[in-house]
Structure 1
Amino acid sequence: MAARGESDGRGGRPPRPRDAAATRRALLEAARELFASVGYDAATVRAVADRAGVNQALLFRHFGNKEGLFAEAISGEAMTVLEDGPPEELLRRTLGAIMADDRSGTELFFAVLRSTGSSEAGKLMRAELESRWAGTFATLAATDDPDDAALRAELVLAWLLGIGLLRTVIATHPIAGADPDTISAHVLRGAQAILDGRADAPASTRTAGSDDPAS
């Protein structure tokens, strides 16, 4: 017996009949692809629905509006990276997702990078990043000061997003063509030093033009 299809809002059925769960998945996948490729503002609900092969009325039925769709689309991607291992490995997982050749696992980061100019998307992204990435990184900071932990976490997060921007959107060299493992090794050392509060020597103890700490 064929699966019961979902009405397309016009009294008929979508081009490819599917149940509500399949429709929802198709809309989320289409939204992630479009938000990643053109950004929040340029990705219209009609374009998302067309890409998913359904009427846009179904998008509103499942997600309420474009903002709701964006929030759930990036949340799903965030949870994939966040929960696919222990918190202490989040830095490595995030780097891997940002630099992966297969974009299917990096839509969240491209959507973040391409949608930062939108006030609506910006609010959603800030809430997502603060509560998930920055919050997790803050728990890994070697400090009892919550404000300092939050600062270190956001510094790491800003660095990761900047790397993604330079490597995949602006495509500057040498970072765009560098070996991902080499980049990861450098970034992991630097980011861990930020979280741990380590430094070879404070800037205030260095003499001008010298790498040796001042006595």
Structure 2
Amino acid sequence: MDESPRPQPAERSRNAAATRLRLLEAAGDLFAEQGYERTTVRAIAERAGANQALLFRYFGSKHGLLTEVVARGDLEQLHATAPEDLFETALRSLLTRSAAGTDRSLEVYLRSVGRGDEATGTLRELGDSYQKVLAGLAPSDDGALRADLAMAWLLGIGLMRTVVAREPLAGADPDAVCRLVLASLDRLWTAPADGPHPAEAGDAGGEGGR
């Protein structure tokens, strides 16, 4: 007869919470590295050191796991970051992805959006969340457009650095990238909505000099 003590409820609860967290972290890393479609449940479980059955018990499905991975990183970052700091925080999360505890939600977005119907809705919600916060930084009615332009720049940088790995951006110092990008980003938020078209401004300057 096996007389070894059985785990107590509190111990089982702690073990379950630890396993659940390992599955979330493993899935987040694999989704960011490979994309949602290419990541298998088996690979997630193996990286987490857990049984596949536990993944389905805790999350229901791979898509349920994706939803929680995105919500965990996205909501934590949005709630913990002032709107005016969100772009820089998100940019640094892309530039310093190897740092422990770095939110990788935008990398998951880059690797996965548009590549699988199951993942697309959840990932679009992630983009919508960022757009809503960033749009509030513009003092004009076209805040959503400016937010989309900022997101396009942010994701383009992420694409070139993490997916394409194009040099010199891939190996550039994060502080140097942030300094250059943020200096230009200020103009996006403050430029008047009804200002002259750049070509028209140039023409006017040329006529004035004649």
Shorter-chain TM-score: which interval?
A: 0.7 to 0.9
Structure 2 unaligned blocks of 5 or more: none
Q: Deviations over 1:38-63 (max 9, x none)?
A: 11011111221222222222211211
Which residue identity does 2:70 align to in structure 1? I
Checking the alignment, whether the CA contact within 8 Å between 2:93 and 2:104 is kept in structure 1 is no
Local SS of the residue matching 2:170: coil
Describe the superposition over 1:143-179 as per-residue Cα deviations: whole angstroms up to 9, x where unpaired.
1x2xx21111111111101101111221212322333
Label 1:121 to 1:214 Cα distance change in 2 as closer, same or farther (>3 A): farther
State the Cα distance separating 1:3 from its structure 2 match: 5.3
Q: After the TM superposition, which of the residue ranges 148-157 and 17-26 deviates more from structure 2?
A: 17-26
2:139 aligned partner: 142
Matched, 1:38 2:23: no
The 3 A distance-change label for structure 1 pair 214 and 86 is farther
Q: How far apart in 2 are the matches of 1:213 and 1:177? A: 41
Equivalents in 2 of 1:30, 1:85: separation in Å? 24
Indicate whether 1:109 and 2:106 are aligned: yes
Q: What CA distance in whole angstroms lies between the structure 1 residues aligned with 2:103 and 2:162?
A: 11
* 1:19 is aligned to 2:28: no
Structure with more contact order per residue of length (Cα contacts < 8 Å, sep ≥ 6): 2
Secondary structure of residue in 2 paired with 1:176: helix
| Matched positions, count | 199
Alignment of 1:32-181 (within 5 A): 32-100=28-96, 102-104=98-100, 105-116=102-113, 117-130=115-128, 132-143=129-140, 145=141, 148-181=142-175
What is the TM-score of this pair, normalised by structure 1?
Answer: 0.81
Q: Distance in 1 between matches of 2:116 and 2:207?
A: 47
CA distance in 2, matches of 1:106, 1:213: 49
TM-score normalised per structure 2: 0.82
Give the distance between the partners of 2:200 and 2:8, measured in 1 at CA: 71
Provide the identity percentage.
40
Unpaired runs of 5+ residues, structure 1, are 7-16
Greater fraction of residues in helix: 2
Distance 1:63 1:156, change over 3 A: same
Runs of 4+ in 1 over 4 A off after TM superposition: 1-6, 198-201, 212-215
Q: Which has the larger radius of gyration?
A: 2
The one-letter amino acid of 1:160's match is L
User: Which shows bigger deviation, 52-61 or 36-45?
Assistant: 52-61
CA contact (8 A) 1:67 1:120 kept: yes
